[in-house]
Structure 1
Amino acid sequence: MNIAIQSDAVNASLIVTVLMALLAVRALRRFLDLPTRVPHLNRLLGWIWVPGVAFFALSYLVGWKANLGDELYFLFAYAVVVAVLIRVRDYRPARTLLLALAPLVLQAIAELLTLLNGGLFKTYNNVLESAQGFALIWFITFVVIAKNQKKRLEAERLQHEEEEKVRRQMEAQNAELERLVAERTATLQQQTEELQQALTELKNAQAQLIQSEKMASLGELTAGIAHEIQNPLNFVTNFADVSAELVQELEAEQRSPTRNSALEPLLLQDLRQNLEKINHHGHRAASIVRGMLEHSRAQSTERQPVDLNTLADEYLRLAYHGLRAKDSTFNASLLTELAPAIGQVEAVGQDLGRVLLNLFTNAFYAVQKRQQRQPVGFEPTVRVCTRRLPTGAVQICVHDNGDGIPEAVRQKVFQPFFTTKPTGEGTGLGLSLSYDIITNGHNGTLTFETEQGQGTEFVVTLPGPA
């Protein structure tokens, strides 16, 4: 009777273990999403109860000792769970559950000790029970950790799905935008061609205006050259006429029956002085022509040593005489403060001369307009000075005592086609071209300081030797 009762208790324990194994497999399937990750292994786990039934039958047929079938089935179920976790170890919560099951090895050891040597199990029964308690705490802790990990991974998965959804929406929007762009391309292409044609026409117009500005500068330069060379030529003509008269007087004196021996040396001395002056002014005219020929050679972008003081002085006088050729009543004071220590600088002489000519022409124009507005009590003055800075850079300053630049237009001074001159008197390209020549062509700066009613000073700064 006692044996029957004991057998029923063992079988009941085995049934409980099988049910626990089924519950563990069910929880494992849901927790690790086994139907999706390992569908084949998931189907095999549905038969985990079969070994329990086999052990249940063998316990009757073979007559195993107490709890043997239960212990064997526990070891089997434990091994299956561990194998499943190893199979899906790439999933982080599965690795955490493996750590959670690690201390349960002690319980498996206890089961093996029970099977192999019941006395040894009794000897270490207290130790094993304490270890099993610790293993249970360990198991619960890591199960909680694994659950939290799964929540985080699930949140990350949902976030990834949301991002993927947004990405697909963006791709759809991009496709729609590309379609719209493709539809607009044909229209824009036609508009582009029309704009290109308009741009070509605008460039042609700009080229014509630039050429007009160059021709205007050339006209100023030509007028200045003509006026500058006219002075030595007038001297040559006048002294030649006087010399011819002296020769006639000398010939008449030589034919006179009462020759004055003291008069002939005086006439010869005057004739010699006139010839010296003719020679001097002839060389002066030749130097002017030679200098202008040098400046009118084919334009080169190569920098060469240029005597800055000589260049500034020549173009100052050429600009002045160019304006006087148009208005002979105009007079102005020319002040030069040219530092002798500057010497020669590396520059494109023709381009730099064009800049100086523009600055001088604008300065004379400003003082001329103020003189016309204020004819009494105003003395037109244009001053040019050169100096070398401590950094090695060289400056050219052009100052006039005109009306100054109005504050409203100071920001537009260097803009192309902007001018304060009346229509027909300027193209608005002089200062713009000068700014480009200095900044882009010579790596320098072109600035100005102005005061309303007091005048304006433009400052050209050229960098020193590298």
Structure 2
Amino acid sequence: MNKVVKEVSKSLSIAEFKLSRTEKEKRTVSVLLEETIDELQRKSLVLEQANINLIQAINTVKATQEQLIHKEKLASLGELMAGIAHEIQNPLNFVNNFSEVSAELVTEIEEELQKPDRDVELETELLTDLRKNLYKINHHGGRASAIVRGMLDHSRTSTSERRLINLNALTDEYLRLAYHGLRAKDKNVNCELVTSFDTHLGEIELMPQEIGRVLLNLFNNAFYAVQEKQKTAPVDYQPTVTVSTQLLSQAVEIRVKDNGMGIPATIKDKIFQPFFTTKPTGEGTGLGLSLSYDIITKGHGGTMEVRTESGLFTEFIITLPTSPLPA
């Protein structure tokens, strides 16, 4: 009997020990769990704050990008305005000159009418000259009006609105505007412009304001490249920018080539990346080619490539589909 009691007592002691140990383990686990929860909560707060900081950083980057894009557009607009001012000034100069000459002709006619022995042949000649001058005034005034109408049309057109456009005329117009904008800043600039426009091209559907921005950027880059090369080139170097269009089977091709500095092979693959620029600090945002690439590829479903050889030439090749993109 005593032996049984001892065995039962021993079993109870073991059970109590195990129970006590289990309770201690539970308390230990509970403490560890609480500590883990606290640590997770602390890390969660840290991650939450890091996420807030990241969102703020992203918003700051986006705002900076928007400011740089706006700056790039304003820079292009400044170049465009300088070219437009020159284009308008030319016909206005003709209008002013022919107006002055016409006023002198009118005075001569009035004097001839006052003479007792009028020279009819002279009067007829003066009237003929006056009529020619008036035709010329009308012609050049119409040219100035056309430039203004074209620019107003471009400014009012939504960037997402497609229209049938004479691409040859648009390309030629922006080439002249870019060159005159360059000359407005430096009268000593001299660059040969070579154009070859496919007469079978006709009109194609595109966003004229956006394509104009691309062309203006490519022309300005080409002029910059030949100017930079001219600083160190031999005296017989002739800066040349060549622009051509060609109608393909299902697309139209635009080529802009310069015989400037070219692009080193090590950076050729980076030129369409946002904020990458080969120009010195302060002379470029690095967004011109990036925006142009997006306009051509995403906005028009086309392609934009570059051929270049360092020290010799750079040629940008744009292809635009002749059929409208699916809605």
- Aligned residue identity for 2:43: R
* Secondary structure of the structure 2 residue equivalent to 1:296: helix
Distance (whole Å) between structure 1 residues aligned to residue 105 and residue 231 of structure 2: 46
For residue 154 of structure 2, the aligned residue among 277, 295, 315 is 295
User: Aligned residues, how many?
Assistant: 289
Contiguous gaps of at least 5 residues in structure 2: 1-32
- Aligned residue identity for 1:426: G
Is 1:348 aligned with 2:207? yes
Distance (whole Å) between structure 2 residues aligned to residue 317 and residue 299 of structure 1: 23
Q: Equivalent residues in 2 for 1:154-193 (5 A)? A: 184-193=43-52
For residue 406 of structure 1, the aligned residue among 247, 251, 264 is 264
Distance (whole Å) between structure 1 residues aligned to residue 254 and residue 295 of structure 2: 14
Distance (whole Å) between structure 1 residues aligned to residue 201 and residue 75 of structure 2: 31
State the Cα distance separating 1:185 from its structure 2 match. Answer: 2.8
Counterpart residue number, 1:389: 248
* Secondary structure of the structure 1 residue equivalent to 2:276: coil
Q: Equivalent residues in 2 for 1:104-143 (5 A)? A: none
Is 1:305 aligned with 2:164? yes
Counterpart residue number, 1:333: 192
Counterpart residue number, 1:246: 105
For residue 291 of structure 2, the aligned residue among 422, 428, 433 is 433
For residue 118 of structure 2, the aligned residue among 259, 268, 276 is 259
Query: TM-score by structure 1 length?
Result: 0.59
Counterpart residue number, 2:277: 419
Distance (whole Å) between structure 2 residues aligned to residue 312 and residue 324 of structure 1: 18
| Segment drifting more, 439-448 vs 375-384 | 375-384
Is 1:197 aligned with 2:56? yes
Distance (whole Å) between structure 1 residues aligned to residue 284 and residue 63 of structure 2: 19
Distance (whole Å) between structure 1 residues aligned to residue 180 and residue 252 of structure 2: 27
Distance (whole Å) between structure 2 residues aligned to residue 361 and residue 181 of structure 1: 57
Deviations 1:273-316 (A, max 9, x none): 11111111111111111111111114241322121111111111
Cα RMSD of the aligned pairs, angstroms, is 1.9
Distance (whole Å) between structure 2 residues aligned to residue 257 and residue 455 of structure 1: 72
State the Cα distance separating 1:422 from its structure 2 match. Answer: 2.0
Distance (whole Å) between structure 2 residues aligned to residue 256 and residue 432 of structure 1: 72
Counterpart residue number, 2:304: 446
Greater share of residues in strand: 2
Distance (whole Å) between structure 2 residues aligned to residue 329 and residue 190 of structure 1: 58
* Secondary structure of the structure 2 residue equivalent to 1:405: coil
Contiguous gaps of at least 5 residues in structure 1: 1-174
Structure 1 segments, 4+ long, off by >4 Å, are 178-183
- Aligned residue identity for 2:322: G
Contact 2:157/2:209 (<8 A) preserved: no
Higher gyration radius (CA): 1
Counterpart residue number, 1:224: 83
Distance 1:325 1:375, change over 3 A: farther
State the Cα distance separating 1:464 from its structure 2 match. Answer: 3.1
Higher relative contact order (CA 8 A, sep 6+): 2
Distance (whole Å) between structure 1 residues aligned to residue 83 and residue 231 of structure 2: 22
Is 1:317 aligned with 2:180? no
Greater share of residues in helix: 1
State the Cα distance separating 1:183 from its structure 2 match. Answer: 5.7
Distance (whole Å) between structure 1 residues aligned to residue 197 and residue 235 of structure 2: 30
- Aligned residue identity for 1:345: I
State the Cα distance separating 1:454 from its structure 2 match. Answer: 1.6
